[in-house]
Amino acid sequence: MAKKRTKKQNKKSGLAPGSVIYTGDKSDKNLFIEVFDYNKEQCIEKELHSIEEAFDFKLTDCVSWININGLNHVDSIEKLGNHFSLHPLVIEDLVSISQRPKIDEYEDYLFVVLKMLHLDAEEKLNYEQVSFILGPNYVLSFQESEGDVFGSVRERIRQGKGRVRTMQSDYLLYILMDAIVDEYFSVIETLGDKIEDLEADIFEGTIDESATKNIQELKKEVLKVRRSIFPLREVINRIEKHESDLIQQRTKTYYRDIYDHLIQVTENIDIYREMIWSLMDMYMTTISNKMNEVMKVLTIMASIFIPLTFIAGIYGMNFEYIPELHYKYSYFILWGVMIVLFIAMLIYFKRRKWL
């Protein structure tokens, strides 16, 4: 048995609660911080070189989006967290990358964790944890490493397209989350395609024993995606019902829209799940059908030739007195009998639809 123990969670086991430890495996990433600070009139975009530079944006009149990449830089994140007066458990959760999507409501900020799913070049699925802190006029976002699905958001802020520059930080959080949820659609579509491909392969029989493995892999993938997305519905629901100035009434309609999208995504996931479960049954009937084919060939060959061989065996006996042996046309008559038998057999199997 191949033992490949992965004790990721255990990194923290036995430590005091509130210990700020990075639990991921991307420990060599650089710290990359970018800031967008904008209002209706202007927009400043800046790359920061140290975490301290970010502190000032807490108090500007504009809406600030501070995007921190590189959760392995625990010290910087702790400093930032303390400056923004985050609860110790929040700072701990920011760098603990196996969180479940959740929302924690504090007095003057919201803490949201979710999973960013995206496909890499080889159509492999990547899971990255993204955390948001929504304050009165800022949004902090935390990612494990550079590279995200926020390209279009940046563009819109820069160019002042749409409503973003005229709205508050709650709308900024909305378009960031919307970008992530939009990406879910591509992800589950790719899953759907994989299932249909596998299904087609099973129907056409162009599949070997690896089918079981592929089905099982797909099953696990769907379960994992499901687990990453399902809890988010509750998160959005809580945002919609949140009662404080952080989330304005007019923005809630937009969160409702994300919620509708999530319902669509999760419904699709559940349908895929049901379809995968039936793939195994389908594969099983395919195997049985094949075995039936094999058995028919065997049965037909054996049923035809075993009796004929018996007849030949009869006249191979060495008894002294076998009258037929001496009759001149015996051999030819026998051939006739055997051919008739052969054809009768064929007709019989034809009738039973085995041929």
Could you tell me the strand order of the sheet in which 32-38 lies?
43-48, 32-38, 63-69, 138-143, 125-134, 110-119, 102-105
β-pairing verdict for 138-143 and 63-69: parallel
For a copy of itself, the binding residues in 66-105 under the rule CB under 8 A are: 87, 89, 98-100, 102, 104
Question: At its nearest, how many Å lie between a copy of itself and the CB of residue 247?
Answer: 16
For a copy of itself, the binding residues in 105-164 under the rule CB under 8 A are: 151-152, 156, 161-164
Residue 30, sorted as left (phi over 0), alpha (psi -120 to 50) or beta, turns out to be: beta
CB of 311 closer than 8 Å to CB of 234: no
Task: Note whether 337 binds a copy of itself by CB under 8 A.
Answer: no
Question: At its nearest, how many Å lie between a copy of itself and the CB of residue 140?
Answer: 19
Segment near a copy of itself (CB under 8 A), from 30-38, 46-54, 60-68, 254-262? 254-262
- By beta-carbon proximity to a copy of itself, the closer residue of 223 and 346 is 223
β-pairing verdict for 43-48 and 63-69: unpaired
Question: At its nearest, how many Å lie between a copy of itself and the CB of residue 73?
Answer: 22
Question: Which alpha helices (DSSP H) does 138-245 contain, by range?
Answer: 151-159, 169-204, 210-241
Question: At its nearest, how many Å lie between a copy of itself and the CB of residue 138?
Answer: 21
Segment near a copy of itself (CB under 8 A), from 24-32, 38-46, 62-70, 217-225? 217-225
For a copy of itself, the binding residues in 4-23 under the rule CB under 8 A are: 4-10, 12-19
- By beta-carbon proximity to a copy of itself, the closer residue of 219 and 238 is 219
Question: Which alpha helices (DSSP H) does 242-329 contain, by range?
Answer: 249-314, 323-326
Helix (H) or strand (E) holding 350: helix 330-351
Segment near a copy of itself (CB under 8 A), from 74-82, 124-132, 134-142, 203-211? 203-211
Tell me the C-alpha to C-alpha distance, in Å, between residue 286 and each of 213, 275, 278, 293, 298.
16, 16, 12, 11, 19
Task: Note whether 54 binds a copy of itself by CB under 8 A.
Answer: no
Task: Note whether 344 binds a copy of itself by CB under 8 A.
Answer: no
Segment near a copy of itself (CB under 8 A), from 28-36, 51-59, 66-74, 257-265? 257-265
CB of 172 closer than 8 Å to CB of 139: yes
For a copy of itself, the binding residues in 302-321 under the rule CB under 8 A are: 302-303, 305-310, 312-321
- By beta-carbon proximity to a copy of itself, the closer residue of 28 and 122 is 122
Per-residue contact flags (x/-) with a copy of itself for residues 163 to 202, judged by CB under 8 A? xx---------xx--xx--xx-xx--xx--x--xx-xxx-
Task: Note whether 285 binds a copy of itself by CB under 8 A.
Answer: yes
Question: At its nearest, how many Å lie between a copy of itself and the CB of residue 40?
Answer: 16
- Of the candidates 194, 213, 207, the one whose C-alpha atom is nearest the C-alpha of residue 119 is 194
Segment near a copy of itself (CB under 8 A), from 60-68, 78-86, 137-145, 286-294? 286-294
CA distance 84 to 58: 8
- By beta-carbon proximity to a copy of itself, the closer residue of 52 and 155 is 155
- By beta-carbon proximity to a copy of itself, the closer residue of 60 and 190 is 190
CA distance 204 to 272: 20
Residue 118, sorted as left (phi over 0), alpha (psi -120 to 50) or beta, turns out to be: beta
- Of the candidates 299, 312, 313, the one whose C-alpha atom is nearest the C-alpha of residue 355 is 299
CA distance 11 to 7: 7
